[in-house]
Amino acid sequence: MTEAMTRNEQVRGEEPRIGVFICHCGGNISDVVDVRRVAEEIGKLPNVAISTTHMFMCSDPGQGLIQEKIKECGLNRVIVAACSPSLHELTFRRTLNRAGLNPYLFEHTNIREQVSWVVEDKELATRKTTRLIRAAIGRIRHLVPLEKRHIPIHPAALVIGGGVAGLTAARDLACRGIEVTLIERGDHLGGRMADLGHIFPTEDQANDLLRPLIQEVLATSKIRVYTHAEIEESAGTIGDFHIKICVGANGKPGEVVEAHVGVIILAIGLEEYAPREGEYGMGLYPQVITLLDLARELVKEKPGQEFTLNGRPIRNVAFLHCVGSRQHHGVHRPGPQGKINDYCSRYCCTGILHSACELKKRYPHLNIYEFFEDIRAYGRGHEEYYTKASEEGVRFVRFDPLRPPCVEKDPRGESPLLVRSIDRLTENMEVEVPADLVVLGIGLQARDMSKLIDLYRCSVGADRFLLEVHPKLRPVELAVSGVFLGGSAQGPMDITEATAAAAAAGSKAAAMITQGEVEMDPFIAKVNEDLCTGCRICLSVCPYDAISRDEEKGIAIISEKLCTGCGTCAASCPSNAIQQLGFNDAEVKSEVLALLGVPEQEPVGA
Amino acid sequence: MEQGRTETAKPEVAEGWEPRIVGFLCYWCSYTGADGAGTARIQYAPNVDIIKVMCSGRIDPELVSTAFAHGADGVMVCGCHIGDCHYINGNHKTMARMPLLKRLLADLGIEPERFRHEWVSAAEGQKFAQLVTEMTEQVRKLGPLNWPGIMHSRGVGHGQDLRPWGE
Amino acid sequence: MDSNGQVSGKLKIGMYWAASCGGCDISLLEIGPHLLELIQVAEVVFWPCAADFKYEDVARYPDGYIDVMFYNGGVRNSEQEEVARLLRKKSKCLVAYGECAVDGGIPALANLKTPEAIYDASYHENPSLDNPDGTEPQPITECPYGELEIPRLYPQVLRLQDVAHADYRIPGCPPSAERVWEVIQLIVGGKVPLENSGVVVGCYDKSVCDECPLEKRMVKIEQFKRIHQARPEPGWCLLEQGIVCMGPATRSGCGALCIKGGVACEGCFGPSGESEDQGTAMIGAISPLLNATTEDRAAELVNQIVDPAGYFYRFTFGSNILRGRK
């Protein structure tokens, strides 16, 4: 550690000695870009100590080459021109680290995804490559050694939400010996799942699955469980949250419980789409109900009883797919926030098919119609419901999403309702179907999470659900370290998917606690106290409230823990008193100037 | 310079001139979107050279002026769609800066087509490619901006290099 | 030696005015009673505004004769450049005095028009002109008495440092008397070297907000108003009230005089901190304060600002990043 610090100090005083390594990428780059010519041209530029190429920079020999040249040529800066930094920037930073050079004295230039793969003309591609490497040289001259931030993590977890996802996450964490506080806003554990009967695809009874899980959670001393509980206050920062929880029955304020935790899992779930008054007859006709209303009814119904609604026997049931999902502007009314749900809610096709099969099993005489846009029975064991439903005589009508079905009173009075639609399966023939019961396959939408979103600075997608850092590389993490996505707060999911997500979140949270600390990139913003006037403009731009005012000094101060490195404050400061490490004004401007081929220090017009 | 009046010389378009456009892209959405165009092997004009920042909120209008001042024929600023910002609402601040910046540039005679501000998501490689090709063609029609040339011809930064008075 | 040919031990100082309003010359007098202290230790060897020196006198001085030369005003024509270079040769320390010399000042607003537009307006289009032949001034004109030569008008207004190296730069329109006296004391007292790199002195590091007595309430701007259209609420930040105040983007050192006088700061001390462009700095300052969630609404609001380029660059269009127009 001391050796590294000494080397860092040395580097600050040295002239840049830059090593430029250009990757052939096995032809992916070199088939288009004349990498050898680029290496030669770049080698002539000032401060470039070595400029060379290699077949695969990311391979062991490729990395070895960098390490070798760092020692041999006394390099104190390294540029690798290769694929996108999203793939291997980390790899090469580690290479530098192994060679005893600060990993942030590195620049990764993208000449594959953004050059060789998109530019046909070899000459233009080669010149573009030279320009981009020249820009990197301009930038790298100004880079200084940086250290990752290490934030300690208090070894305890908070799970918000006592549904199946929250229970799963809490149990998994407790299994690893971690203290958990589990809070549930409602009056029972098990959430939405507890209302259901048979669930797809295993046909288990929902509560048969929930009961042992709940018992496990309640039995262990590692988990403190509170129902009727909500967060009143949350203070602290990453790895060190101090949370006040209000526990009260029937909405009355009760005791306040405190939790000191290092990680938080958001398992708050979502809500059902509430059809608008009049949408497919909802609220106008008592015969229109939602899919989940039906599911809850079926739990209560004893088999063998006749299927009735308000005393009237039910013969014809119509299911409507895509209610509150896959909506179109101009066709569907936006919700209270002015937004439509243009996404697919995933669970409903299989849910409807499952309910249709369930109904057919209990009441074989029923005529069942399904009005669908597409059938998305994508999961393991889901397609079987479609096959079964077809075999059992469920009739499918495929509607045009821009001309959805109509639900209206039967003018002839033979049936309570009629459902009319065009059928794309029969070349847009108009279909009219009698219905004693219309079941709307309602979608799922994000619930009002504004308080939590504000508290923990969650990124939110355009669909109003919480947004993960990266859907493939970091699917259950939020941009704020230590807060994880445990289930359907992230998007419409069925129980299978929600429990998988919760288990993943639990695993990630446990890993963080086991590490004891989280490493964060050093690209934070810093205030120059001599230049800061305390005008407070930066305070209003930080998305994370990481900037506060030091009343004594009358200047802005930025929390190292909370700053996520967006650089917005740095761009807003009218005095340029805030600089973002790794992206400060000198670094970015030099990159621009070098890109345009301007030697530094020259004023405009000279 | 014997004549009293000076006229701004129209920049001569050198043969083989290619528009030089600087693109400031935010890493999480637009830069990744540009990568996506590459993965899909979509071919597009090479005239936009990309400078990566973490968030479009980092893009100080000063950087846009700097790019034009030092020879860029066009500047592009790309960020995440509103509501999709990796840093919650950094892109809101970018958006708020645009009207004043566009007005300033226009007041200084920089044609509006030379500066573009667009939202590009990580999945919009095709959109990015089209955007680049479209902007390149628009700037090509306008010709080089050559700001350093204009300023140099007006003596900005160096005067007329005269002898001291009396010599 | 002085203009009488006498050698004296006093510091040789002077002030020249180029494209100037004369305000800076007056501001030197504003040091008030300190003038008496100054003339104890310094003598004026060139000050066209105040005394009858000729360029020939200066040309006859040995090189480096003048210890401290204050040059105020912008460089608008060839005479001003020639004299700047002369003064550079004859001075140990050349100081860009006042905003015009430092950043271009008010004259540099001319750079918001093209040179040809200026000629057209001045000699052809101005409604009060009587110029039927469309005559334009020429550098050399034949006339009955011989050849008449006048300085050539430059296409753009320049700063002193564009034509001659300035050792120090004192911003302000005009510079603040207290600050000027402090600088003079430093120089006269030998506390700072006569030769320097163009360091900005006579001001503070922070922006005017530091000296401003008004209170920030951290609210968003609903509407922009010009100072004559508004009755500002006393005690409250003008910018937050929608009156464009250059304070956040302007160096302090003036004591926030204008604000204390009830008007918004116009930015006459040049850019604050390490910013090099008041216009882009103001975009950074104003944009976060707009009460707008869409670009259209933001545009609606900022379109209420009349002439942002002229307003933000009122004093600094000679030294911002773009420095001119196409």
Pairwise CB contact (< 8 Å): A135 & B51: yes
CB burial string A386-395: b at 16+ within 10 A, e below: bebbeeeebe
Find the angle CA(C154)-CA(C157)-CA(C160) to the nearest 5 degrees. Answer: 110
Cβ atoms of B163 and B137 closer than 8 Å:
no
Spatial distance between the Cα atoms of B91 and A457, rounded to a whole number of angstroms: 15
Assess C117–B contact: CB distance below 8 Å, yes or no: no
- At A483-537, the pLDDT tens digits run 999 999 999 999 999 999 999 999 999 999 999 998 888 999 999 999 999 999 9
Mean pLDDT of A183-206: 94
Which chain B residue has its CA at the smallest distance from A478's CA?
Answer: B86
Cα dihedral: C304, C305, C306, C307 (round 10):
-140
* Helix and strand element counts for chain B (H, E): 5, 4
pLDDT of residue A461 exceeding 90: no
Strand runs (DSSP E) across chain C, as ranges? 11-17, 42-46, 66-72, 75-77, 91-97, 140-143, 146-149, 153-158, 168-170, 199-200
Closest partner residue to B93 (CB to CB) among A115, A124, A572 is A572
Within 160-199 of C, beta carbons closer than 8 Å to B belong to 162-163
Mean pLDDT of A177-195: 95
Mean pLDDT of C16-40: 95
Spatial distance between the Cα atoms of A324 and A299, rounded to a whole number of angstroms: 24
C232: Cα separation from own chain's centroid: 28
- At C112-127, the pLDDT tens digits run 999 999 999 999 999 9
- At A89-104, the pLDDT tens digits run 999 999 999 999 999 9
Mean pLDDT of A338-357: 95
Cβ atoms of B95 and C295 closer than 8 Å:
yes
Pairwise CB contact (< 8 Å): A575 & C274: yes
Last residue of some domain: A416, A439, A462?
A: A439
Which chain C residue has its CA at the smallest distance from B11's CA?
Answer: C326
Which chain B residue has its CA at the smallest distance from A133's CA?
Answer: B49
**CATH code assigned at A565:** 3.30.70.20
CATH entry 1.10.287 includes domain B21-153: no
How close, in Å, is residue A13 to chain C by CA atoms? 22
Residues A171 and A236 in one domain: yes
Spatial distance between the Cα atoms of A258 and C62, rounded to a whole number of angstroms: 82
Residues A136 and A188 in one domain: no
Output the pTM of the full model. 0.83
Residue of B63, B70, B124, B133 to mutate, testing the A interface (most A Cβ within 10 Å of its Cβ):
B70
Mean pLDDT of C285-306: 93
Question: Residue B75 — φ and ψ, nearest 5°?
Answer: -135, 140
How close, in Å, is residue C247 to chain A by CA atoms? 9
Spatial distance between the Cα atoms of B147 and B131, rounded to a whole number of angstroms: 24
Beta-carbon pairs below 8 A across chains A and B: 159
* Chain B residues touching residue A523 (CB < 8 angstroms): 54
Closest partner residue to A574 (CB to CB) among C282, C321, C323 is C282
- DSSP annotation string for C175-236: --HHHHHHHHHHHHTTSS-SS-S-EE-SS-SSBGGGT--PBP----B---B-GGG--PPTTB
Report chain B's mean pLDDT, rounded to a whole number: 92
The predicted pLDDT at position C1 comes to: 45
Spatial distance between the Cα atoms of B111 and B98, rounded to a whole number of angstroms: 15
Which chain C residue has its CA at the smallest distance from A542's CA?
Answer: C288
pLDDT of residue B1 exceeding 60: no
Residues A291 and A416 in one domain: yes
Spatial distance between the Cα atoms of A237 and A559, rounded to a whole number of angstroms: 9
Classify C283 as helix, strand or coil: helix
Mean pLDDT of C10-28: 95
* Chain A residues touching residue C323 (CB < 8 angstroms): 604-605
Classify A82 as helix, strand or coil: strand
Cβ atoms of A61 and A32 closer than 8 Å:
no
Lowest-confidence region among A119-123, A468-472, B93-97: A468-472
Spatial distance between the Cα atoms of B49 and B64, rounded to a whole number of angstroms: 14
Residues A386 and A494 in one domain: no
pLDDT of residue C211 exceeding 60: yes
Pairwise CB contact (< 8 Å): C326 & B61: no
Residues A300 and A408 in one domain: yes
Residues A457 and A404 in one domain: no
Q: Which chains touch C (3 or more CB pairs under 8 A)?
A: A, B
Categorize the per-residue pLDDT at C6 as very low, low, confident or very high, splitting at 50, 70 and 90.
Answer: low
* Chain C residues touching residue B144 (CB < 8 angstroms): none
β-pairing verdict for A240-247 and A255-261: antiparallel
Categorize the per-residue pLDDT at A299 as very low, low, confident or very high, splitting at 50, 70 and 90.
Answer: confident
The predicted pLDDT at position A310 comes to: 73
Pairwise CB contact (< 8 Å): A85 & B70: no
- A590 assigned to some structural domain: no
Residues A537 and A563 in one domain: yes
Contacting A with CB below 8 Å, chain C residues are 205-207, 209-210, 216, 218, 247-249, 252, 272-275, 281-282, 284-285, 287-289, 321-323
**CATH code assigned at A350:** 3.50.50.60
The predicted pLDDT at position A605 comes to: 36
**CATH code assigned at A35:** 3.40.50
Residues A329 and A423 in one domain: yes
Cβ atoms of A258 and A247 closer than 8 Å:
no
Pairwise CB contact (< 8 Å): C284 & A572: yes
pLDDT of residue A293 exceeding 60: yes
β-pairing verdict for B74-79 and B21-26: parallel
Pairwise CB contact (< 8 Å): C112 & B107: yes
Classify A594 as helix, strand or coil: helix
Pairwise CB contact (< 8 Å): C288 & A572: yes
Closest partner residue to B154 (CB to CB) among C140, C156, C312 is C156
Within 322-381 of A, beta carbons closer than 8 Å to C belong to none
Between residues B85 and A388, which one has the greater pLDDT? Answer: A388
Pairwise CB contact (< 8 Å): B53 & A588: yes
Pairwise CB contact (< 8 Å): A537 & C248: yes
Last residue of some domain: A439, A467, A490?
A: A439
Mean pLDDT of A348-360: 96
Closest CA to C184 of C26, C7, C34, C17: C34
Between residues A50 and B88, which one has the greater pLDDT? Answer: A50
- The pair of structure tokens assigned to A577 is 């008193």
Pairwise CB contact (< 8 Å): C273 & A572: no
Closest partner residue to A131 (CB to CB) among B49, B60, B84 is B49
Parent domain of A15 = 2-140
- At A119-149, the pLDDT tens digits run 999 999 999 999 999 999 999 999 999 999 9
Pairwise CB contact (< 8 Å): C284 & A574: yes
Cβ atoms of A434 and A316 closer than 8 Å:
yes
Structural domains in chain C, CATH included, are 11-106+157-200 (3.40.50.700), 120-154 (no CATH), 208-312 (no CATH)
Length of chain B: 167
- At C130-163, the pLDDT tens digits run 999 999 989 999 999 999 999 999 999 999 999 9
Which chain B residue has its CA at the smallest distance from A461's CA?
Answer: B84
Pairwise CB contact (< 8 Å): C293 & B101: no
- A586 assigned to some structural domain: no
- A228 assigned to some structural domain: yes
Pairwise CB contact (< 8 Å): C154 & B154: yes
Spatial distance between the Cα atoms of C286 and A447, rounded to a whole number of angstroms: 34
Residues A63 and A80 in one domain: yes
Give A253's Cβ-side CA count (13 Å radius): 7
Residue of A90, A463, A473, A566 to mutate, testing the B interface (most B Cβ within 10 Å of its Cβ):
A566
Mean pLDDT of B104-116: 97
Cβ atoms of B56 and B91 closer than 8 Å:
yes
Token pair 């005269």 is found at B162
- The pair of structure tokens assigned to A18 is 């830059």
Classify B106 as helix, strand or coil: helix
Categorize the per-residue pLDDT at A606 as very low, low, confident or very high, splitting at 50, 70 and 90.
Answer: very low
Alpha helices by DSSP H, listed for chain B, are: 32-39, 61-69, 90-107, 125-142, 147-153
Residues A307 and A403 in one domain: yes
Cβ atoms of C24 and C17 closer than 8 Å:
yes
What percent of chain C lies above the pLDDT cut of 90?
A: 90
Which chain A residue has its CA at the smallest distance from B158's CA?
Answer: A606
The predicted pLDDT at position B3 comes to: 62
Q: What is the largest CA-CA distance in chain C?
A: 72
Pairwise CB contact (< 8 Å): B62 & C276: yes
The predicted pLDDT at position A603 comes to: 40
The predicted pLDDT at position C3 comes to: 52
Classify A60 as helix, strand or coil: helix
Categorize the per-residue pLDDT at A602 as very low, low, confident or very high, splitting at 50, 70 and 90.
Answer: very low
Q: Quote the number of domains for chain A.
A: 4
Mean pLDDT of B112-129: 94
Lowest-confidence region among A60-74, B76-90, C70-84, C238-252: B76-90
Token pair 């009218």 is found at A574
Assess C281–B contact: CB distance below 8 Å, yes or no: yes
CB burial string C205-239: b at 16+ within 10 A, e below: bbbbbbbbebebeeeebeebbeeeeeebeeeebbb
Element containing residue A437 per DSSP (H, E): strand A437-442
Element containing residue C101 per DSSP (H, E): helix C99-103
Mean pLDDT of A368-391: 96
Pairwise CB contact (< 8 Å): C299 & B158: no
Length of chain C: 326
Closest CA to A174 of A159, A187, A189, A188: A159
Beta-carbon pairs below 8 A across chains A and C: 75
* Chain B residues touching residue A122 (CB < 8 angstroms): none
Mean pLDDT of A417-441: 96
Whether omega before A543 lies within 30 degrees of 0, making that bond cis, reads no
Closest partner residue to C272 (CB to CB) among A539, A572, A574 is A574
Pairwise CB contact (< 8 Å): B62 & C85: no
Within 25-84 of B, beta carbons closer than 8 Å to A belong to 32, 34-35, 37-39, 41-44, 46, 49-55, 57-63, 66-67, 69-72, 81-84
Which chain A residue has its CA at the smallest distance from B95's CA?
Answer: A568
Residues A499 and A407 in one domain: no
Pairwise CB contact (< 8 Å): C209 & A571: no
Cβ atoms of B28 and B64 closer than 8 Å:
no
Report the first-to-last Cα separation within chain C, whole angstroms. 48
- A593 assigned to some structural domain: no
pLDDT of residue C281 exceeding 90: yes
- At C310-325, the pLDDT tens digits run 999 999 999 999 999 9
Q: Using CB atoms within 10 A of its CB, is residue A588 exposed (0-12), middle (13-18) or buried (19+)?
A: buried
Spatial distance between the Cα atoms of C158 and C80, rounded to a whole number of angstroms: 10
Categorize the per-residue pLDDT at A273 as very low, low, confident or very high, splitting at 50, 70 and 90.
Answer: very high
Residues A54 and A83 in one domain: yes
Amino acid identity of B77? V
